[in-house]
Structure 1
Amino acid sequence: MKVLSSRRYTFSELVDENLIEVGAGRPRSVSSELAILRVADVLDGKIKHAFMVDAPSNPPKETASKVSRPGDVVLTAKGTVGRVAIMPPGGPKYAYSPQLIYFRPTPSGPLLPRYLYYWLKSAEFWAQASHLKSQTDMADFLALSDILSLSIALPQRYGQETIAALLGSLDDKIAVNERTSDTALKLAEALYLREAAHSEWKSIALGDAAIWLSGGTPKTGEPSFWGGEIPWISALSLKSPWIDSSDRNVTDLGTKSGTRLVPAEVVLFVVRGSSLKTEFRIGITQREVAFGQDCKALIPCHQIDPHVLFHGIRSNTQSILEMVDETSIGAGRLSTDLITKLEIRVPQRGDSQLVAELRALDELAATRRAESRSLAELRDTLLPQLMSGRLRVRDAEKIVEDMT
């Protein structure tokens, strides 16, 4: 089925024809009883309460347009421009901050909120927005007048529904995978802590539990070192407990020029970076990777299983964060002298059953996370082709079916 039949609107036309309401938040809450929705709360297509104060248990009956409604499509327009989310049904109301722009399509109009959500993530939106985006001091921003000048091609509602449903099915599968991955990790954590409390276990200093390796960075100006197939892990890219990819890859030549390679089942964690001020980033490698000087790699010894070592360190996150001091440029720093003295709990003798259970849970979590990344890449590949009409929904459905 093709969805090429469409009409192009500017957002100002949609507003003038009363087909959508588009607005920006107010400088402060329209009611002191309403929490404010900020840029940091709009993430990964969802509303995540990063910095919001708690919403009141009995919020006022507020009908002002600057107050969120279920189905509103929200776009971050200052600082980190381009994060998008849809306000969920049944949740509390929030006042929009001035850094957010909301879109409220008329229910009977030609534009479906879910289609708009995906369009705001598409190449067509970014192609227009990149020419309009301005900069003030240290932040990018899109003004409301910029948004109103954007144009969008709208297929008929059925075409929008089929596109949104197909892309949404991928997002749903990704969400299920993420919940499964998070649950498996929590179960593994609980299993480790339960077993670690047994008297048959012993404490060992982290400095004695593993061989410690330092990394490095190949010369960034040398093209032959970069763009290969080997992930290069840094303080910025170490964002998952399951380390198998990075936004920067090195070549075989790059691995021999200032960095270090480690195989699968090595524990990596961040020892320097701004993230250390609020979180301790640690993971276990799923494949061969290279890593930078802001991380340490630990290869377990004394017959300690890598998964026991990983959970042993991770379970001490709070103690580790208390060791962090600050560099001269304000980044967090974890002293090797301090963390090598940290004691973790390990079995007195090899515990094959525990190791098997930990591995099974960790592997489930890692597999689901990797699958989610593949599905997200597929969604992002299909999105511009579906939006432009270059790919038929029927053909896209076949691609998704083969993938899943």
Structure 2
Amino acid sequence: MSEWREITIKNAAQTKGLIGGPFGSKLVSRDYVETGVPVIRGQNLGSGRWVDLTDSVFVSESKMERDLASNLAEPGDLIYTQRGTLGQVAIMPSDAPSCVISQSQMRLRVDPSIADPKFVFYWSTSPYFRKAIADHAIVAGVPHINLGILGSLPLLLPPISVQQSVARVLGSIDDLIENNRRRIEVLEEMARSIYREWFVKFRYPGHENVPLVDSELGPIPEGWAVTRLEESATFVSGGTKTKAAYADTGFVAFSAAGPDGFLSDFEIDGPGVVLSAVGARCGKTFWASGKWSSIANTIKIIPKDSSLTAAWLRFTTEDTNIWPKRGSAQPFVSISDARGVKSVRADHETHRRFEEVAMTMIDEAGALRDMMRSLIGLRDTLLPKLVTGQIDVSSLDLDTLIAEQVV
């Protein structure tokens, strides 16, 4: 620790390396075009280490060159949120194009002779740095910070070689997390594609020999039926527990925003769906498995026969448009309305065969999700200790730690 030193974020920046977004009318929504130079906004941060440009808006090359050339971010730069969800930070990927940062973002270009950008990223996600942001944030109106505040915040630095080792260890864990996330997405999309083929397009095994007949939901295969969801599942209100009841460890708990905490007890042991019943995510559903619970503003949907309806129920309930919403300022779905939603049920044999195929993929994705949660727990335990020197990175046996954590 004798070689560690504390500087400020500004001290780690290259000349003109710490900049903010464009002022005032230099960038407004009417400047957006269909293709061009991506603009980094808050929604491009927050999903991991890297700036995610999947859902980007754009400005033209001429607009960038004329008004926004001083507001560019390049690969390796760090992007911080200035207002809104304070504490968000991400790195520009190595294969990213030049991007314009929005009015609500700030860019740090690290001087590599002083600091490793990836180490600075991990320091910036530590509880120490986030507390410093909270302590210095301007709370009048929308909570925010500015370039002066960001530049003045502390940065604890060991020698460059140690910084690189710390970033390498934490990056290895994040690589495993991201690899699991990609594998989960592939498995779930494979199962979802089979569902669409069988239950939306009616191209299930043997469909060639089955005629379509009229129903209240349109033509469906002969022998299938239109039923209310309550015939396939039990609906249970999320109850009155709130996030205040969350524990440090325990069983996964769902709020209206998704799986975001733990409860010391569980209500369900097995597969099911959690419906966000109130607020901005009203109508969105989340898959649950193992031992789990949900809190207020949710509805638990439990398949009556998990061997025949679990996977089918999951994909049937994904369409947010099926849920009848009431209210305007604060939309909600009532449990009685949810029970009455109508859907097309196949014959017994088709359901059995679908569950046999789809649940294999879903169960594999579930095991990967459990592993991912364990890896996130390991990273979150190690990170604050590594970036402050409480753990000597040279003494870590990462392979053993990972093996012990994911068993």
- The answer as to 2:73 corresponding to 1:68 is yes
- Flag the 1:151–1:298 CA change in 2: closer, same or farther, 3 A: closer
Tell me how far apart the structure 1 counterparts of residues 7 and 60 of structure 2 sit (CA, whole Å). Answer: 39
- Which has the larger displacement, 365-374 or 327-336? 327-336
**2:254 pairs with one of 233, 249, 256:** 233
Candidates 4, 9, 12, aligned match of 1:11:
9
Correspondences of 1:19-98 after superposition (within 5 Å): 21-27=17-23, 28-29=26-27, 34-44=37-47, 45-49=49-53, 52-54=56-58, 64-98=69-103
Distance 1:87 1:311, change over 3 A: same
Quote the residue 1:344 is aligned against. Answer: 344
1:136 aligns with 2:140: yes
Show the counterpart of 2:218: none
Pairing of 1:363-378 with structure 2 (within 5 A): 363-378=363-378
TM-score normalised to the size of structure 1? 0.81
Deviation for aligned residue 1:165 = 0.6
- From 260, 265, 273, give the equivalent of 1:267: 273
Q: Determine the C-alpha separation between the residues in 1 that align with 2:84 and 2:280.
A: 18
Aligned match for 2:237, one of 206, 209, 214 = 214
TM-score if structure 2 supplies the norm length? 0.80
Deviations 1:218-262 (A, max 9, x none): 4888x7x977844443313x25xxxxxx425255xxx8xxxxx33
Offset at 1:173?
0.6
State the secondary structure of the residue aligned to 2:386.
helix
Say whether 1:286 aligns with 2:290. Answer: yes
Point out where structure 1 has 5 or more consecutive residues left out of the alignment. Answer: 240-245, 256-260
Relative distance call for 1:324 and 1:77 in structure 2 (3 A) is farther
Letter in 1 for 2:86: V
User: May I ask how many residue pairs the two structures share in their alignment?
Assistant: 375
How is 1:276-315 mapped onto 2 (pairs within 5 angstroms)?
A: 276=282, 280-301=284-305, 304-314=308-318
Partner of 1:382: 382
Distance (whole Å) between structure 2 residues aligned to residue 95 and residue 219 of structure 1: 40
The amino acid of 1:102's aligned partner reads R
Partners of 2:277 and 2:18 lie apart in 1 by 45
Q: After TM superposition, give the deviation of residue 163 of structure 1 in Å.
A: 0.6
Matching of residue 179 in structure 1 with residue 182 in structure 2: yes
Any gaps of 5 or more consecutive residues in structure 2?
A: 211-220
**Per-residue deviation, 1:366:** 1.3
Give the 3 Å change call, closer, same or farther, for CA 333–56 of structure 1 in structure 2: farther
> In structure 2, what is the equivalent of residue 167 of structure 1?
170
Residue in 2 that maps onto 1:243: none
- Alignment of 1:111 with 2:109, yes or no, is no
The 1:338/1:292 distance shift into structure 2, 3 A limit, reads: closer
Q: CA deviation at 1:82?
A: 0.9
Match of 1:126, SS state, is helix
- How many Å separate the matches in 1 of 2:306 and 2:178? 39
Deviation at 1:58, TM superposition (A): 9.4
Structure 1 304/72 Cα, relative in aligned 2: closer, same or farther at 3 Å?
Answer: same
% same residue: 21
2:263 paired residue among 234, 238, 249: 249
**How far did 1:55 drift?**
5.7
The 8 Å contact of residues 324 and 335 in structure 1, kept in 2 or not, is answered as no
